[in-house]
Structure 1
Amino acid sequence: MKYPIIFAAALLLLACNRDKTAEVGTEGMNAAATAVADDTKANPVVDNPNVVSENEAPNPNAPVMKFAEAEFDFGDIKPDTKVRHTFTFTNTGKSPLLIEDATASCGCTTPSWTKAPVAPGAQGSIEVQFDSRGKRGIISKQVAVRANTQPSITTILIKGNVLDAAGSAAPL
């Protein structure tokens, strides 16, 4: 088992060309950097039209995610239960809105979202499920929604108060 690894390592060492001087190697690195710079001039990088830099004006045709509510309070939550809330949004922009992903601030919170593009004027939804198992007291969880909007990340929030096993609020 050890011999194939040793053999592969020996081949790698033998494959290296040790006849090159340090000066030639440096020239090679500079030549590669020059080639990349020349290639960038010949083929400029195309920026994402939905990403706004300091020097650019926002894209007036970009999709816009407008939530009916960006925060939801569950109030008191029974221990060891799962609660859900659906956030609805409207694309008030001028091009289709596509959600790339939605990421929760902890593993106890699970988002699911509209996968199809949301046309201008149409509605989409993001359902957020919170699992209170092992939690107690005041909770506040964020979900970062990444889409082709400006800015590219929109945050929604859930909060509540997980009761203890006896059904009373946890002491502060």
Structure 2
Amino acid sequence: MKKSILLVCSMALAIGFTSCEGKAVDKVKAENVEAAAVRDANADKFAEMKFEEKTFDFGKIERGQKQEHTFKFTNTGDVPLIVSKVKSSCGCTVPEKPTEPIQPGKEGEIKVTYNGSGKGQVTKTITITANTESGTERVSIRAFVEVPSVTETTTER
């Protein structure tokens, strides 16, 4: 008796779960299917950043002397380049990321401002997060920061 009651309850639950009012297929939007197909077709394609230069040297500069340089690049990939983040290795260097996607074959820029802090040879790395195959690209700036000697500072006053 217990077995038959259990069997009837199991069958009722199975029928209840499988007979939903709308079918999932009816709820799928055609434009979403098309967008997913395009996305999947491009899953193995990437943007590519081809830089004119990956390192820039400001040479000798005085401490505190603000410097700027613009790294220019071309998207040589197959899809629009989207730069999601640009980060410096130090707070003394401020990079500016492109705000719009860079289409294949088009050029873009990343402007970097360095405040001239530190002393001696300095190197700062800028890490770019984008939809490239590796996911990150790097460029760097260098400078030799000269600090005025104490006698130069007192004689200038």
Match among 59, 66, 88 for residue 50 of structure 2? 66
**Partner SS state of residue 67, structure 2:** strand
Return the letter of the residue paired with 1:153: T
Query: 1:136 aligned to 2:119?
Result: yes
CA distance in 1, matches of 2:63, 2:124: 17
Letter in 2 for 1:97: L
The code of the aligned residue for 1:103 comes to: K
Of structures 1 and 2, the larger Rg is shown by: 2
Cα distance in 2 for partners of 1:72, 1:79 equals 18
Code of the residue aligned with 1:68 in structure 2: it is E
Report runs of 4+ in structure 1 exceeding 4 Å deviation. Answer: none
Partner residue, 1:148:
131
The number of residues matched between the two structures is 109
Structure 2 counterpart of 1:77, which letter?
I
TM-score (norm 2): 0.66
Percent identity at matched positions?
A: 36
SS in structure 2 at match of 1:90: strand
Identify the residue that residue 63 of structure 2 maps to in structure 1. Answer: 79
CA distance in 1, matches of 2:147, 2:88: 24
Offset, 1:104: 0.3
List alignment gaps of at least 5 residues for structure 1.
1-48, 50-57, 167-172
Residues 1-172 of structure 1: matches in 2 within 5 Å? 59=44, 61-133=45-117, 135-166=118-149
Q: C-alpha displacement at 1:77, in angstroms?
A: 1.1
What value does the CA root-mean-square deviation take over the aligned residues?
1.7
* Distance of 1:150 and 1:70 partners within structure 2: 18
| Structure with the bigger percentage of helix | 2
1: distance between equivalents of 2:96 and 2:69? 11
Gaps of at least 5 residues in structure 2 are: 1-38, 150-157
